[in-house]
Structure 1
Amino acid sequence: MTSVTTQQPIAFDEKDAYKDDDCKFSGRLLVEAFEGKFVHATSRGRIPDMRVYQANTQRRRPPEFYKREFIVEYNGEKAGVCGVRFLGDNDIYRERDEDMPSLGCKGSCGLYCVLYAIENETIPPETCHVDHISVEARFRGRGIGKSLLDIAEIDAKRRGCKAIYLWVATSNREQHLYEMQEYVIMEKYSLCGLVWCQTGEKEFARMEKTLV
């Protein structure tokens, strides 16, 4: 029988070290999850730079950062990643200039715009925000996404949260997965052309699940 196991926190040791293969894996899947936004912000040719950038953002973080990042393994191979955030976590995830690649003026401005749109989130008390979730392409359709959402929910309950939510582009077919997990659409956000200018998407939905 195929097994699904979880790894959390992600490869954090007493020296504040973060295994390089975990950084690269998580960084690559983060770019895949937001690929359209990164292409919109920079260019298709900059995707390798974005992978390096996202891997860099995973390194040298406070210990609490790694307690919010999860990896699911499928038959011993890394298959998916998920990250959650809580009230007061902004400093843990702050952007650092040393992580940014050299993209030139246009590319840098575009990247800062998309990061602002993604990162500028005020999380309510007793609430968990699913910041990102991504599954390795060859493992899709095998329940990895559900496992990641289940892990996020368990962690949120353990921290005393009463609700868990995420944002998803209304054009994203993964919205169906969230509905199956009992997430419901609470609001939609478009604000005319601003969302498109920042992310390349026209509309996002805020989906929430009540935790009991």
Structure 2
Amino acid sequence: MTSVTTEQPLPLAEANSVLLENGPIRIRTLRDTDQDSEFAANIMVDAFERKFIHVTSRRSLPSMRDFYGRSLRGRPPVFYERNFIAEYNGEMAGSCVLRYHGDNALFPDVRDEDFAPVKCTDKCGLLCFALATAEDIPPETCFLDHIGVDSKFRGKGIGKLLLDMADTDARRKGCRMIYLSVATSNRSQRLYERQGYVVKEKKTLCCCGYWCTTGEREFAFMEKNLK
């Protein structure tokens, strides 16, 4: 992994959160601040906008951003170690979230207080979405929960560097494999293939299945051997 090099000394808290620097791109951990949580929530909702519109509505997108921003605040320190922020020339440009075996017990995906801005009908849609996409992560395995890059920074290698950082973190934690799920209609599948992921299974559910809960009809389950 590339060592951290800076021309000016960083504040201690900031220096400790920097994981990798490569030219204008810097990868660091998420911080428990309004600025970081708002940015990460925007990336999350933008990356899955079609799904959120399907399970709630287009009018509900602002409350979805508020909801996910709330879900990132006041968590234990280990939570932020799983959440990465990519910066490009000092400006936040992308994010990536990892999950490991046992994380469901360490911190729930959502808490009751996070639902404050969400209407009742939208809450039902979100809970169904969460149930449909829940993962029981095996030991020695890393789950790439999601990754996203701000549209104005795409094509600069940020997604690739975030995926490299995910591999490094998973290996450091003793994982033998990293995996993800992606809608087969999502063009990001080609990026994952270039990074060494292979499709192990394509899955649909009977009747309306995934379509009712996510707005997608088929998912590809991809994995990468880290050993």
Q: 1:93 to 1:189 in 2, by over 3 A?
A: farther
CA distance in 2, matches of 1:210, 1:127: 10
Structure 1 portions without partners, runs of 5+ = 12-17
Which whole-Å CA distance do the structure 1 matches of 2:122 and 2:169 have between them? 36
Secondary structure at the aligned position of 1:91 is classed as helix
Match of 2:198 among 159, 184, 188: 184
Answer yes or no: is 1:133 the counterpart of 2:154: no
Larger Rg: 2
Distance 2:158 2:117 in 1: 34
Of the three residues 100, 121, 126, the one matched with 2:135 is: 121
Question: How much does 1:101 deviate?
Answer: 3.9
Instruction: For 1:160, give the aligned amino acid.
Output: G
Aligned residue number for residue 211 of structure 1: 226
Matches within 5 A, 1:19-168: 19-94=33-108, 95-118=110-133, 120-168=134-182
Structure 2 alignment gaps of length 5 or more: 1-21
How many angstroms apart in 2 are the aligned matches of 1:39 and 1:122?
26
Contact 2:56–2:125 at 8 Å: present in 1 too?
yes
- 1-side partners of 2:120 and 2:70: how far apart? 20
Query: Which segment is superposed worse, 90-99 or 149-158?
Result: 90-99
CA distance in 2, matches of 1:19, 1:2: 26
CA distance in 2: counterparts of 1:191 and 1:164, whole angstroms: 24
**Letter of the structure 1 residue corresponding to residue 127 of structure 2:** Y
Distance in 2 of aligned mates of 1:178 and 1:102: 34
1:15 maps to none
User: Is 1:173 equivalent to 2:194 in the alignment?
Assistant: no
Q: What is the distance in 2 between the residues matched to 1:102 and 1:150?
A: 35
Normalised by the size of structure 2, how large is the TM-score? Answer: 0.86
- Tell me, in whole angstroms, the C-alpha distance in 2 between the residues paired with 1:55 and 1:48: 11
Equivalent pair of 2:64/2:118 in contact (CA under 8 Å): no
Aligned equivalent of 1:3, options 4, 13, 24:
24
Alpha-carbon deviations, 1:42-95, whole Å to 9, x = none?
100100000000100000111110010101111111111001011000033412
Is the deviation greater in 193-202 or in 96-105?
96-105
TM-score by length of 1: 0.92
Q: Which of 192, 196, 213 is the matching residue for 1:198?
A: 213
List structure 1 runs of 4+ shifted beyond 4 angstroms.
Answer: none
Identify if the C-alpha distance between structure 1 residues 67 and 2 changes in structure 2 by more than 3 Å, giving closer, same or farther.
Answer: closer
Tell me, yes or no, if the aligned pair for 1:61 and 1:92 is still in contact at 8 Å: no
The Cα of 1:2 is off from its aligned counterpart by 5.4
Give the RMSD, CA atoms, in angstroms. Answer: 1.4
Q: Per the alignment, in what secondary structure is the counterpart of residue 106 of structure 2?
A: coil
> Which structure is richer in relative contact order (CA contacts within 8 A, separation 6 or more)?
1
The alignment partner of 2:75 has SS state of coil
Higher mean C-alpha deviation, range 140-149 or range 104-113: 104-113
Amino acid at match of 1:50: M
